[in-house]
Amino acid sequence: MDILTHKADGILTIEFNRPEKKNAITAAMYSAMVEALKDAESDSAVRAILFIGKPDVFTAGNDIEDFLKNPPTAADSPVLQFLAQISRATKPMVAAVAGNAVGIGTTLLLHCDLVYAADNAKFALPFAQLGLCPEAASSMLMPQIAGYQRAAEKLLLGEAFNAEEAREMGLINKVVPGDQLFAYAQSQAAKLVALPASSIRVTKRLMKQAQTAAVETQMAEEIKHFSAMLSSPEAKEAFTAFVERRKPDFSKFE
């Protein structure tokens, strides 16, 4: 099972469990998470959701080979369903990030309510490096939380940044020593569980509602470009270079 789900003490834990591929996410993994998240919405026993990976990797983002096999072009594609689900979640979502969080591994955090990272965490938004463009409304949410210049640096250059920089930017709440990360995130989720569920729900909705429509519009706009770019020669060059373990050469494209 590449996605493990576990319900206990009011918390649904969703764990990326494909360490041999650095937890890269396939269409089947998105579908498994969509099912778990839908189930959590309708299960009153679930009062918080916790995303975790492994101590050395959160997720390397979309599985690049799967991207080519199952490009997310239709609105009902698993990745788009996943983004719709996390952007509309009514229950609080906590994430515990250790190691690499690439692409959607970082953009999914923009939809979480509390984000904790280990000191070994490394974030990256290499969409332009892959001949693609941002998704998950990150082209709107990143400038909002980090300011335009810092967001531009991360989204245009796509270079990785560490946990301390992510904290300064406002992307994460706190940097935690690696060996304490999962226990800490779990205890924060447990605090949410112990609070009145209705107050948590209404508070979350009040904080988010002013921009719910804007997030959906931005995601729809992004995915139009993203889907078209997936079959562009630039993306093909980037993906092939990744598989062949070489640097991509974009010099021949205008």
Told to check if 154 binds ligand COA by CB under 6 A, we report: no
Q: Which is nearer to ligand COA, 60 or 89 (CB)?
A: 60
**Residues near 189 by Cβ (< 8 Å), separated by ≥ 6?**
11, 48, 49, 50, 92, 94, 114
216 is a contact residue toward ligand COA (CB under 6 A): no
Residues 87-146 interacting with ligand COA (rule: CB under 6 A)? 100, 102-103, 126, 130
Contact 94, 188 (CB under 8 A): yes
CA–CA dist 115, 96 (Å, integer): 6
SS3 category, 246? coil
d(CA 180, CA 171): 20
Span from 21-29, 34-42, 75-83, 178-186 in contact with ligand COA (CB under 6 A) = 21-29
Check residue 64 for interaction with ligand COA (CB under 6 A): yes
Contact between 61 and ligand COA per CB under 6 A:
yes
Measured distance CA(151)–CA(146) in Å, rounded: 6
Backbone angles phi, psi at 149, to 5 degrees: -65, -45
Identify which of residues 100 and 188 has a Cβ nearer to ligand COA in the complex.
Answer: 100
Assess 234 for contact with ligand COA (CB under 6 A): no
Pick from 15, 63, 113, 222 the residue near ligand COA by CB under 6 A.
63
Q: Which is nearer to ligand COA, 40 or 67 (CB)?
A: 67
Distance in angstroms (rounded) separating the CA atoms of residues 226 and 168: 29
Q: Does 60 bind ligand COA (CB under 6 A)?
A: yes
The answer to whether 21 contacts ligand COA (rule: CB under 6 A) is yes
In angstroms, the Cα distances linking 147 to 101, 153, 238 are 21, 10, 28
- The span of 19-27, 85-93, 203-211, 220-228 binding ligand COA (CB under 6 A) equals 19-27
Least Cα distance to 50 among 114, 107, 123, 136 occurs for 114
User: How many CA atoms lie within 13 Å of 161's alpha carbon, on the beta-carbon side?
Assistant: 20
- Closest separation between CB of residue 176 and ligand COA, Å? 21
State which residue, 182 or 239, has the beta carbon closest to ligand COA: 239
Task: Using CB atoms within 10 Å of the CB of residue 98, give its burial: 0 to 12 exposed, 13 to 18 middle, 19+ buried.
Answer: buried
Q: Does the protein bind ligand COA through residue 47 (CB under 6 A)?
A: no
Residue whose pair of structure tokens reads 């591929």 in the numeric block = 21
x/- site string to ligand COA, residues 156 to 175, per CB under 6 A?
Answer: --------------------
**Does residue 65 belong to the site contacting ligand COA (CB under 6 A)?**
yes
Binding site for ligand COA (CB under 6 A): 21-22, 24, 60-65, 100, 102-103, 126, 130
